[in-house]
Chain A
């Protein structure tokens, strides 16, 4: 009697869970995203902002350029912009990835060995409160006008949010899952491999979300300081601004902005693939 009761209930709950698949939910969500109530408000805001910009630009021709002036500049000198964007892009790519990897690895070391946190964290904080704008010229003096100081500045800017977020993520494990692991006499490596590493990913992605836009800031600031020798959108901004060339200045700014948007969108795509399990209701917590 008891057996039939339980198995009947088990079957019932099993089928009810089968009906609750991921894909219909996901596609429903996608459709919802396409609904005009979702995208229209943002579009309206952008249109209003553009209109205000245009009116201000026409009224103050020596303060900001009109949108069409910027557009014309972008088309006319597309090759130059593209080349400069590649330079900045390379700086962001190399600088950010080294900063991300270094931040995550140091976070792992600190999470596993508390002594390391006590030993190294104060130094990290000291470096991080030093204004990056002040470090950049010093690095140029040390490493010249090449790419090296730009890589370093970008990596530095990215490093801190990655370290702090990854560390928080590696520490915030499900205590009860940890209890289960400990009762099995899991080694530290096994706990890291099966629990901490993947469990830290929501925090890691939160860190990336802060770090990636900062990487562009880092690259641009480094270029401001070392403008002249090497190209890059940041250099372009300083040079054009010094010549009061408004369209080029703002076209470069717009491209920096565009790079940021592309990075964030890519991140959101990767996040969806990696963190599918952490969205929606928290599981097992």
Chain B
């Protein structure tokens, strides 16, 4: 693990962002600051429209903040994307339907190949096999279930060994049974490939299950209301759900969310 590096991970400082035309701008992010250390799993949770995706997109280099800075491993986001240091898992798998599973996972290698030098590229086959997709390498996305497609999308984000992983509600389209399996699969994989992870979710149990810290955001304008530590020991298994610590944490997070939502309606 490279926790020794002083700048490793994500550093968001005082980021503000407004949308809309001149004169009718709405503030979506208001002075947001957040650091995610190398190897740390941070979930972001909050009411719909509070700016979670916007925050994630500023870290991904898809949106420029109006003010404030975002640094990834001590570099600007722009430099970080140039070096392919950011893996993105969007809300839908967003696979190319005309390419096989294997070719979809190879995409990050094919694109921007200059940044492939000096990095620990993984074998796409191996990574897919470890995701339980060994039998699906030569299938097309249309032949896979939603859960399998999402796993391919995660494999695509891991395969080029980025230092930061950004996931925007990757499991939200799946049914509850499937979601649990995907969470545990992700956790399993991440446990042996510790990246800095920013994970946007609407599910409290999901956030607790996966994270080291949970960032609760409030809306109007989007801000960080509270950061909750999740001191549950790792590796975590499905048994965590049944523990008292888990239930206490769940109560705490839900209470914080209620406060945040209450503010909104007041």
Contact = CB atoms under 8 A, between A and B. Distances in A.
A283 B96 CA distance: 8
Interface string A202-241: 0000000000000000000000000000000000000000
A18 interface: yes
Most buried by B among A6, A21, A184, A285: A184
Interface stretch (B142-150, B223-231, B248-256): B142-150
A186 B96 CA distance: 15
B81 A184 contact: yes
Nearest to B148: A13
A209 B115 CA distance: 42
A267 B154 CA distance: 37
A3 interface: yes
B181 A17 contact: no
The contact size tier of chain B is 35 or more
Interface in A1-31: 1-3, 5-7, 9-11, 13-18, 20-22
Where chain A touches its partner, the secondary structure class is helix
Contacts of B82: 185
Contacts of A190: 110-112
A194 B238 contact: no
Interface of B: 57, 60-62, 81-82, 84, 86-88, 90-98, 107-108, 110-112, 115, 131-136, 139-145, 147-149, 151, 156-157, 160, 166, 178, 181, 184-185, 187-188, 235-239
Given A180-B107, A284-B141, 19 more contacts: A1-B238, A2-B238, A3-B188, A6-B188, A7-B132, A10-B133, A10-B181, A20-B143, A22-B143, A176-B92, A177-B90, A179-B94, A180-B88, A183-B62, A184-B84, A280-B142, A281-B142, A283-B95, A284-B149
